[in-house]
Amino acid sequence: MCGRMDPVCLARLGLLGNPLRVSVLRLLVRYLPHPLAAGDLARALMVPPSTLSAHLAALCEAGLLVQRVRGSLRLYHAVPSALAQVIDWLGADVALGRAGADWQPAGRLRLLFLCADGARLSPLATALARRRLWGRARVRAAGVAPVAALDPVLVEVLAAHRLPACLPVALGVPFEVGAGKLDVVIALDERALAALPIAAQLPPPINAYWPLPEVRDGPVIPRAVALHAAMRALEPRLAALARLPLAAAPREAVQAALDSLSSGLPEVARAAGSAPEPRRRSTSPVLRASAAS
């Protein structure tokens, strides 16, 4: 924790006065817990690599970023805890404790899954979460640009698993009548990730990124296969999430749990080690073909 007039906090705060450095941090935080290579950062921010390298070095020196070398790649992770130290210092010393984000879910957790169009991934995640988190969370789906109807292949997949389908809500629409706040927002693809944060509220919701396999337009069978792959990726995460005391845990613990359940991390196997449910047989030729593939 940075103390009163701490030079480390002042140095970090000074670095954040540069818009490009702020853009670097914002982008890397969105991708947590995944790193980005220096070249990918330069392309995403549309700046020459030579211009970016000095800023990356300064941010690493201040402890706001961590650099790891993998072969010829230089990968960068954001360190939100270092940024949190600056925020805590500002809140405690400058704002006299009047600034900060509390974690106080009111009853059941209010959880939103967000994807690009709301036709496939977020309704799929919502249907599975409503089964896994029954009685513990109020779960909704949303799309950055929501469509008027769900993908018919998704509807058939959900029906085969005896799961009800739900239409996505539009961004900016209250989570439910009389309550516009959310506790957790989970983005499921890169377009949804770019839309975070979806609303300005205090305290802000916890945001997380669970990248899922892409479901593209096209023939029915590949779409069904992709939806089943997304279901297999979601099931162990939601099973692990159901075992956590979400409403009673500190905000930092909930954020860490959501991050650990993102793809490609070894924690997933340990946290979600339950066996998957047996597949149900279906009379649908679409689902039989996708299962056989």
Together in a domain, 69 and 149: no
Do 200 and 276 share a structural domain?
A: yes
CB half-sphere exposure, 98, CA atoms < 13 A: 3
Of 44, 64, 94, the domain-final residue: 94
pLDDT digits (tens, 9 = 90+) for 200-250: 666 778 889 999 988 988 999 999 999 999 999 999 999 999 988 887 888
Report if residue 83 sits inside a domain. Answer: yes
In a domain, 80, yes or no: yes
Q: What is the per-residue pLDDT across 279-291, written as a single tens digit (0 to 9) for each?
A: 444 455 454 544 4
Does residue 2 sit within a domain? no
Q: What is the pTM of this model?
A: 0.75
Q: For residue 233, what is the domain's CATH number? A: 3.40.50.2300
Could you tell me how many residues make up the chain?
A: 293
**Do 85 and 219 have their domain in common?**
no
Pairwise pLDDT comparison (199 vs 36), residue with the higher score: 36
d(CA 282, CA 291): 10
| 19 and 148 part of one domain | no
Residue 33 lies in a domain: yes
Each as own residue / partner, the long-range contacts of residues 274-279 (CB below 8 Å, 24 or more positions apart, any chain) are 274/236, 274/239, 274/240, 276/232, 276/235, 276/236, 277/235
pLDDT at residue 261 tops 80: yes
CA–CA separation, 254 and 182 (whole Å): 14
The total domain count for the chain is 2
In one-letter notation, the amino acid at residue 158 is: L
Residues 148 and 281 in one domain: yes
Question: 191 burial class (0-12, 13-18, 19+ CB within 10 angstroms)?
Answer: middle
- 195 and 265 both lie in a single domain: yes
Domain at 76, CATH number = 1.10.10.10
Of 151 and 103, the one with more pLDDT: 151
Q: How confident is the model at residue 172 (pLDDT cuts 50, 70, 90)?
A: low
Distances (CA, A) of 14 to 59, 79, 84, 90, 117: 11, 17, 15, 13, 39
pLDDT score at 224: 94
Say whether both 24 and 129 belong to one domain: no
Q: How confident is the model at residue 99 (pLDDT cuts 50, 70, 90)?
A: low
43 with 183, same domain? no
Q: What is the mean pLDDT of residues 89-99?
A: 71
Instruction: Tally Cβ neighbours within 10 Å of residue 199.
Output: 16
Same domain? 154 vs 256: yes
Q: Within this chain, do residues 85 and 218 fall inside the same structural domain, yes or no?
A: no
Using one digit for the tens of pLDDT, what is the confidence trace for 108-143?
A: 888 999 999 889 999 999 999 999 999 889 999 999
Where is the domain boundary, 94, 122, 144?
94
Domain boundary among 39, 59, 94: 94
User: How large is the average pLDDT for residues 10-38?
Assistant: 93
Domain encompassing residue 208: 109-292
Q: What percent of the chain has pLDDT over 70?
A: 80
